[in-house]
């Protein structure tokens, strides 16, 4: 089993390597690739040192699976070239998500959309993954008519640049305003993020919504295989290092009891219900950080509509929102495609 990680030196790429190790994926040959400026650097994986190679060299090595976290432009350029050699590409960028011929996969929900012919597989956006993990069982049982979503997205969603801006501003303390006005570093955000909330995650489009908000709409419909769901979203950036939080208002087609929904969520693999508000138990970014599960709480009926409910959904955006989901897809490929003898172990479903 030959696996390549493309973008291995980045924030998500590094986490992918960590999760590959944690998930006990057997790798007979690991190829770590990145941009030309990183070629020659050394990465340690399972006590072995690997030199970073160019993406062209990784293609020439003909890996069985290439897990991408190198940005949309690189994915558009290189993913088809890997696929032409027979490699299965699991791409973490936005490049292929809405392509009608590319499955957009959260393995617990729609792994069946992967076939022997789908050599490019898209990893959804981080905020979408955690939301659909909570919504899929609800949609299956009751049908979803409408969603109103507000996200509170951590700075790690902007990569190291977002983390660095928050840390630099926090270190500036009382002088943060002067730091923001005088720094020569190009910031991740157009305003101070320290002690602030920006109603601005992603890039604004002509319709007034951001790209992050549009991903929540389009990707959710594709993953749940229902273009009729009405969805509106507002995405905000908050001064949290890791972990996205979401307030999700759901209107269903069929009536439900809250206890039914609770039981559905408790029985869903990968979902943890934390919902005892009288004991101050509810999901938080700080407790979801560095965990693979999606945490759901503040479950309650919305009395303003006939079949409405509210959920609070939290997950680590770098793990389940990116690296873990991609590795789960890779494990699904290993377990179902004709790569020869079984090459994964451990207790994970995927």
Q: Residue 121, CB half-sphere, CA atoms under 13 Å: how many?
A: 30
Active site residue 200: no
Q: Write out the two tokens for 253.
A: 């087609």
The residue from 50, 119, 139, 244 that is catalytic is: 244
The strand pairing partners of 302, in sequence order, are: 308
- Cα–Cα distance between 116 and 264 in angstroms, integer? 32
The strand pairing partners of 30, in sequence order, are: 3
- Cα–Cα distance between 191 and 232 in angstroms, integer? 25
- Cα–Cα distance between 56 and 50 in angstroms, integer? 17
Active site residue 191: no
Q: Which residue has the tokens 């340690």?
A: 44
Q: Torsion over CA of 111, 67, 210 and 188, rounded to 10 degrees?
A: 150
- In the chain, how many H helices and how many E strands? 11, 13
The residue from 126, 191, 200, 303 that is catalytic is: 126
Strands 88-91 and 120-122: what pairing?
parallel
The overall longest dimension of the chain from CA atoms, in Å, is 61
Q: Which residue has the tokens 């490049």?
A: 95
Q: Catalytic residue positions?
A: 126, 244
């Amino acid at each position: 089993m030959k696996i390549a990680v493309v973008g291995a030196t980045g924030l998500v790429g590094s986490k992918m390597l960590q999760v590959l190790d944690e998930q006990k994926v057997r790798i007979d040959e690991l190829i770590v690739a990145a941009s030309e400026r990183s070629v020659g650097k050394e990465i340690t994986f399972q006590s072995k040192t690997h030199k970073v190679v160019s993406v062209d060299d990784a293609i020439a090595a003909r890996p069985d699976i290439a897990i991408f976290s190198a940005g949309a432009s690189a994915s558009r350029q290189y993913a088809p070239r890997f696929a032409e050699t027979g490699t299965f590409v699991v791409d973490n960028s936005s490049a292929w998500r809405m392509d009608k011929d590319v499955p957009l996969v959260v393995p617990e929900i729609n792994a069946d959309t992967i076939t022997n012919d789908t050599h490019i597989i898209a990893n959804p956006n981080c905020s979408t993954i955690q939301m659909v993990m909570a919504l899929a069982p609800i949609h299956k049982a009751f049908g979803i008519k409408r969603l109103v979503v507000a996200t509170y997205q951590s700075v790690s969603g902007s990569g190291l640049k977002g983390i660095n801006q928050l840390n630099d501003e926090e270190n500036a303390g009382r002088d943060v305003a002067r730091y923001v006005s005088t720094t020569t570093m190009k910031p991740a955000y157009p305003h101070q993020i320290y002690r602030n909330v920006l109603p601005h995650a992603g890039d604004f489009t002509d319709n007034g919504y951001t790209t992050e908000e549009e991903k929540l709409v389009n990707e959710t419909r594709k993953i749940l295989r229902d273009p009729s769901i009405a969805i509106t979203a507002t995405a905000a950036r908050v001064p949290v290092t890791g972990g996205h939080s979401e307030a999700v208002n759901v209107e269903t087609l069929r009536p439900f009891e809250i206890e039914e929904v609770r039981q559905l969520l408790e029985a869903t693999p990968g979902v943890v219900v934390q919902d005892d508000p009288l004991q101050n138990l509810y999901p938080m970014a700080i407790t979801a950080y560095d965990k693979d599960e999606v945490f759901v709480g503040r479950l309650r009926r919305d009395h303003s509509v006939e079949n409405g409910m509210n959920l609070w959904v939290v997950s680590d955006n770098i793990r389940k929102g990116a690296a873990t989901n991609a590795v789960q897809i890779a494990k699904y490929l290993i377990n179902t495609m004709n790569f020869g003898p079984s090459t994964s172990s451990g207790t994970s479903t995927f």
